[in-house]
Structure 1
Amino acid sequence: MASTPLGDFLRGRRARVTPHAAGVPVVGVRRVPGLRREEVAMLAGMSVDYYVRLEQGRERHPSAQVLDALSQVLQLDDDARLHLYRIAGLAPAPGRSTLPEQVDAGLADLLDRWPDTPAIVVGRAYDVLATNALAGALFDGFDDGANLVLAVFLDPAARTFYPDWDEVASRTVAGFRLLHGAFPHDPRIGEVLRTVTAQSTEFADRWARHDARGKGHGTKRFHHPDVGGLTLRMQTFDVPASPGQQLVVYHAHDESSAEALRLLGSLAATRSASQAWAPPGRPPSGGLP
């Protein structure tokens, strides 16, 4: 039986819920790490046969009531629940586009008006579409390239740049999974997914967990080669005019990080002045969040 995104998701998330967390008594030796199919069906109030057909892809049109029940049993948060609805065909996807993404000129101008605040725009495949000068200085440690997923998993420098690499990697995969569900036919997302899956078992292992979670807000630690450690708060905003694009803004968590950002700004200004005399055609330095 051919797998489907819905069946894969249900199997992956079922394996994540322990009997104890679901309130299921454990008797004897269990051969599966999470819930059994019949346990999910019982807790969701449906027949075992119907649930098996969902996992096997023989039932492709579950109702909203069924998805709500499964969301509760599988203990999905809001992002994962939205992803479940999308892959089940009950949440409208923002649309399909085969055109390269572009950043609105007004949004790009807004980034440049924040000289003391690192800000970037990422696309639906986690390509970095625009950065202001301070963000360019902050994320200047990676090889040339402009995709967050590829940088985090394929660039060795990422493991030094992100002291909490394991957490960053897991959140990157969860965010990418959410966008994959929203744009399942996007060619760029497919290209990135094929590349990183083929080259990183660490990505593939996390992808198999079927976590789906947006960027939102939080705190992230960095170790920059020029200024050392920084702790920055992150805020993420959807770009309504360009579905899938996100504006990510960083600001200092403490005074030492604020001082490091000021130093980075000075270094960026100095480098910008020196590069003004560089020969035409010099490639820009790479940098990813």
Structure 2
Amino acid sequence: MAREQQKRSSGTELGRFLRARRTEVSPEEVGITAGPGLRRTPGLRREELATLAGVSIDYYARLERGRESHPSPAVLDALARALRLGDAEHKHLHDICLRAARSRSPCQGAPSRSVDPGTELLLERLRPFPARVLSRTMDLLAANPGGLRTLAGIERWPVKQRNIARYVFLHPMARELFPDWEVTTRGCVARLRALAGTDPDAPDLAELVDELLLKSLEFTHLWESYDVRAFAQGHKTMRHPEVGTLTLRYQSLLIEGTQGHRLVTYYALPDTPDYAAMVLLDQADQGHGAIPTEKHPG
């Protein structure tokens, strides 16, 4: 049995999330004076968090152990404040409980991988800006030449294997390409964790997570930290083997009418070295530019 399947059988998603976040908060951060002697518990103790959130120790213990799975929104808000959760983590906490409260819906099959012709045309029109279409689990569904080539070496992988998280953790060129590799890995795991909060039994998510848990110790460590902060915009520096170091800003947009597909676009100001490097990536070896996609029905 894969390690992720074993983890799912030990407690609930809510309990695992609360335990993971509790260990990340020190007593000093919340105004608790640590007593003498060595604390065996990293972060807050259960009773300390219960007191901060204004719930009984027994009730909080039942939440962590999976014996209570329907806390009120007020309790969730109190726990979020006590754990100093950010907006994304706070939402994730509510999403977990909403997902647990809903009755299981019939299986809807695998999410569509198709990209409609209008989006493919948009990818072409965005050139020389690198642009990609990603699935909800970060499969690379379509890209213009720069969008593919900024991920140095991924074009040598089969189309169905091309996934951003898989590339970041398993491709031999990823650590060299991203100077901030640790930050990049946290962003990938956070996006997958957020999806796990709303659809934890999704086959596409489970397959990817199980693979990465088996193949990457770094992924395993980050997956168990339950960090769900995501980044929709910012900048990314790359040490590309063909054009050298370049820094591009990026924007991630949800594509309406899809099952969580996102359009990710990178850009730089004209007449800058970064723009020149970006243009070279768009033009170089264009035989590898377009990647096959499943056509949108109709």
Q: TM-score, normalised by structure 1?
A: 0.88
19 and 157 in structure 1: CA distance in 2 versus 1, 3 angstrom threshold: same
Residue 275 of structure 2 corresponds to residue 263 of structure 1: no
Per-residue Cα deviation, 1:15-51 (whole angstroms, up to 9, x for no partner): 0011111111111221112000001100000000000
**Residues of 1 paired with 2:278 and 2:176: CA distance?**
18
Aligned residue pairs total 274
10 and 226 in structure 1: CA distance in 2 versus 1, 3 angstrom threshold: same
Give the counterpart of 1:217 among 233, 239, 242. Answer: 233
**Residues of 2 paired with 1:190 and 1:7: CA distance?**
19
Secondary structure of 2:74's counterpart equals: helix
Question: Once structures 1 and 2 are overlaid, which stretch shifts more, 183-192 or 247-256?
Answer: 247-256
Residue 117 of structure 2 corresponds to residue 105 of structure 1: yes
**Residues of 1 paired with 2:100 and 2:60: CA distance?**
20
**Residues of 2 paired with 1:90 and 1:137: CA distance?**
38
Cα offset, 1:178, TM superposition: 0.8
**1:75-224 → structure 2 map (5 Å cutoff):** 75-89=84-98, 97-99=108-110, 100-142=112-154, 143-144=156-157, 145-224=161-240
Contact 1:179 1:244 in 2 (8 A): no
AA of the residue aligned to 2:216: S
AA of the residue aligned to 1:132: N
Cα offset, 1:61, TM superposition: 0.5
**Residues of 2 paired with 1:127 and 1:92: CA distance?**
29
Give the counterpart of 1:17 among 16, 19, 25. Answer: 25
Q: Which residue of 1 aligns with 2:6?
A: none
AA of the residue aligned to 2:42: P
28 and 253 in structure 1: CA distance in 2 versus 1, 3 angstrom threshold: farther
Contact 1:141 1:225 in 2 (8 A): no
AA of the residue aligned to 2:61: V
**Residues of 1 paired with 2:244 and 2:231: CA distance?**
24
Cα offset, 1:2, TM superposition: 3.9
Q: Which residue of 1 aligns with 2:12?
A: 4
**Residues of 1 paired with 2:162 and 2:101: CA distance?**
29
Unmatched 5+ stretches in structure 2: 1-8, 293-298
Contact 2:70 2:101 in 1 (8 A): no
**1:229-240 → structure 2 map (5 Å cutoff):** 229-240=245-256
253 and 182 in structure 1: CA distance in 2 versus 1, 3 angstrom threshold: farther
Per-residue Cα deviation, 1:230-289 (whole angstroms, up to 9, x for no partner): 101111111221142211111126811111012222214xx33xx79xxxxxx969xxxx
**Residues of 1 paired with 2:65 and 2:223: CA distance?**
19
Question: Once structures 1 and 2 are overlaid, which stretch shifts more, 82-91 or 243-252?
Answer: 82-91
Secondary structure of 1:120's counterpart equals: strand
**Residues of 1 paired with 2:12 and 2:166: CA distance?**
25
Cα offset, 1:214, TM superposition: 2.2
Question: How much is the aligned-residue C-alpha RMSD, in angstroms?
Answer: 2.3
Secondary structure of 2:235's counterpart equals: strand
Q: Which residue of 2 aligns with 1:50?
A: 59
**Residues of 2 paired with 1:263 and 1:59: CA distance?**
57
Cα offset, 1:97, TM superposition: 3.8
Per-residue Cα deviation, 1:155-202 (whole angstroms, up to 9, x for no partner): 121101111111111111111111222222211110000000011111
Residue 47 of structure 2 corresponds to residue 38 of structure 1: yes
**Residues of 1 paired with 2:85 and 2:191: CA distance?**
15
201 and 113 in structure 1: CA distance in 2 versus 1, 3 angstrom threshold: same
Cα offset, 1:92, TM superposition: 9.4
